[in-house]
Each structure stands twice: as C-alpha cells, then as structure tokens.
Amino acid sequence: MPLIEYRDALNQAFDEEMTRDENVVLMGEEVAEYNGAYKVTKGLWKKWGSKRVVDTPISEAGFIGMGVGASMLGIRPVMELMFWSFAAVAWDQIINNAAQVRYMSGGLINCPIVIRGPANGGTNVGATHSHNHESFLANIPGLKVVCPATAYDAKGLMKTAIRDNDPVMFMENTLLYGEKWEVPEEEYLIPLGKADIKREGTDITLIAHGRAALTACTAADILAAEHNISAEVIDLRSIRPLDEDAILESVSKTHRAIYIEEAKPFCGVGAQISSMIMEKIFDELDAPVLRITSIDAPAIYSPELEKRQLPRPLDVVEKVLSIC
C-alpha cells in the first residue's frame, strides 16, 4: 500500500466523490486558485474548474449559511473553514440552521453538508486560532462530529461523510497534514460511529480522538516496552455517532480507562465518556476513569510552552502508572 500524506488522502476523497456525484462542490477561503491554505484541495480547482471548487470571501457566516441553504436543495457542499476556530463567526448557521432545520421542519428538509478544516492547537498560532470545538458541536443533536487521526481514517471517513445525508462536522489537524500512512489504492469507506482499536491490550484502555489517539499509541508502546503494561488504544474516530460498545467491551476487559484529548477539560469529550463508563459498567471498574487534557488556559503562543500545554505521551504514561 502506498504511503500517503493525510492531506492527500483527503484530497483523494474529494476527487473521488466529486467524480461520483456532480452535486458535490468544494467551497471555502482560498480552496480553489490558491490550492488551500494547507494545500488540502491542491489541484482540484485546476481539474474541476470554478463551478465545483469555489473561493469565497472571508464571510464564514455568509458562506456556511449559503452552503446550508444550497444543501436543502440537494447540493452537497463540502465547506472548508480555514481553521475550525473560525466557526465562532458562523456559529448560528451551524447550530441553528445546519443542525436543526430537519427537526424544526418535522423531517421535511435534509442538510447533507460537510463542514471541515483543521481543529487543533500545537502550532503556536495563539488562543484565537487553537480552539477545539468538538465537545460543543457533539452536544448538539442534529450534528455529527468526526475526528480522524490517520490518513487512512481521514479518507475513508471523508468519503462516508460526503455521502451521509446529515450535517457532518469534520475535524482535521494541521499537525497531521504532512504525516504519512498507508492508504489502499482501491476504494474503501469507513462508517461513522465505529471506533478503531489502534492497539490491543489487556491492562488498561486508553480512549482518545484525533491526534491524541496517536499520543495514546506512543504511550502504549512505552508502557509495553518499559513498564510491562499492556494498554488497549481505542480511537473513537467519530464522536457523534459514538461507538459505545467498543468502549464498554474494552473497559469490561481491562477494568481501567483513561481518556486523552487535546481540548480543555471542563465538559470535554472525556467527561462524557468517563461518566458514561461509570454509569454503564460501574462494577467493572477497578479504578476511577481518569482524563488527560490540554492545560486549562487559553492556548499559549510560546512555542516552548505550548508543547507543554498539550498532552504528551509521557503524561499518559505517568497517569497510567498512577492507577496500574
């Protein structure tokens, strides 16, 4: 299997789905002529032209809302937010219009839109540009939230997201765009709502989403090599829908769990998963489910300090050792 960059895996997904369905249109700031701020849409404007790949003004509420409106009439817009952080200026269009128009119309209207872009800290771009919105968005019934950690997942999930008839919030990561993974040449799809067991293990379950899943994998490797602890790593991939079964099955086996995420702690995804585990399999737990998150402050600029603000593999190892 060829090794492919995360950004190129996404690019392939767009290209394939644009070929498959003439209603798929890519939109966003700089996605066309500039090839995307992070080159995720590279070459697609040249290939598909201005009808299918569209540069927009810096008007996120305007163009995301436009995409929602167009999707109601059957267009399938794949909208780039140059940073997911910029969703803050389009928040109403996302949480009210995209998420709720189906409900408020009693099911008469669908909104098959994908909103995508990088959602992460760690690149020293400061507090305004480093938000993790996934817990907020997954709170909203009507939205789906996806956070792929590898090129393989990114491609398979993106293709599924584009075909999905509900609004999918697709969160990528600038730190992963240039990383490579094996991606098959033949077509494949990955369902939303299926977690991926990225490492099998027996002593503790590390659950994570997005780039934190890779941090968990590194931690699992260290735990195996240096501490003789066998950690299972579950990458949720999709936060809503959620693969609860995979989590419960694993924790029922290991009896211990830690959630790792790069977002802030208060009401994070880890809080949801941790309390869900307690509610469902309290008696299986040999220790409290713990959480590792970003240090609870706005994202700091300082490159040295920002490294410290986000969870590192050794933070995970340390936390595991505290309960194993």
Partner 1 sequence: MATAVTTTDFSKAPINAKLSTEQKLKLLTEMVRIRRFETESLRQYNGGKIGGFLHLYNGQESVAVGCVSLMGDDDHVITAYRDHGHALAVGMTMNECMAELYGKATGCSKGKGGSMHFFAPDKNYWGGHGIVAGQTPLGLGLGYALKYKGLKGAAMCFMGDGAVNQGCFYESLNIASLFEVPVVYIIENNGYSMGTSLARSSAFKSCLAERAEGFGMAWGKCNGTDIYEVRANVQEALARAHIESKPTLLEVSTYRYYGHSVADANHTGGYRQKDEIEFYKQNHDPIQHYKRRLIEEGVLTEEQYEQIDEAAKSEAAAAAQFADESPVAGEETITQDVYFEVDRQTEAGRTGKHFFND
Ligand X SMILES: Cc1ncc(C[n+]2csc(CCOP(=O)(O)OP(=O)(O)O)c2C)c(N)n1
User: What 3-state class would DSSP assign to 116?
Assistant: strand
Select from 245, 311, 258 the least CA-distant residue to 287: 258
Burial 264-275 (b: 16+ CB within 10 A, else e): beeebbbbbbbe
Size of interface with its own copies, in residues (CB under 8 A): 51
The terminus-to-terminus CA distance of the chain in angstroms comes to 37
Q: Which one from 129, 131, 133, 209 is the annotated catalytic residue?
A: 129
Q: Which one from 5, 60, 80, 262 is the annotated catalytic residue?
A: 60
Is 298 an interacting residue with respect to its own copies (CB under 8 A)? yes
Select from 316, 318, 222 the least CA-distant residue to 262: 316
Distance CA 185, CA 169 (A): 26
Region of 82-90, 183-191, 234-242, 281-289 interacting with ligand X (CB under 6 A)? 82-90
**Position 164: which residue type?**
D
Question: Catalytic: 60?
Answer: yes
Q: Which does 125 bind (CB under 5 to 8 A by kind): its own copies, partner 1, ligand X, none?
A: partner 1
Distance CA 260, CA 300 (A): 19
Q: Which does 159 bind (CB under 5 to 8 A by kind): its own copies, ligand X, partner 1, none?
A: none
Is 125 an interacting residue with respect to its own copies (CB under 8 A)? no
Distance CA 270, CA 288 (A): 13
Name the residue nearer to ligand X (CB basis): 60 or 243: 60
Site for ligand X in 4-33 (CB under 6 A): 29
Is 264 an interacting residue with respect to its own copies (CB under 8 A)? yes
Question: What is the helix (H) or strand (E) element at residue 44, kind and residue range?
Answer: helix 44-48
Q: Which does 67 bind (CB under 5 to 8 A by kind): ligand X, partner 1, its own copies, none?
A: partner 1
**Bridge-based pairing state of the strands 3-5 and 238-240:** unpaired
Residue of 1, 3, 58, 109 that binds ligand X (CB under 6 A): 58
Question: Catalytic: 129?
Answer: yes
Catalogue the active-site residues: 60, 129
Chain residues in the site for its own copies (CB under 8 A): 61, 88-89, 91-92, 95-96, 99-100, 103-104, 126-128, 131, 135-136, 138-142, 240, 263-272, 274-276, 278-280, 282, 285, 287-291, 296-298, 300-301
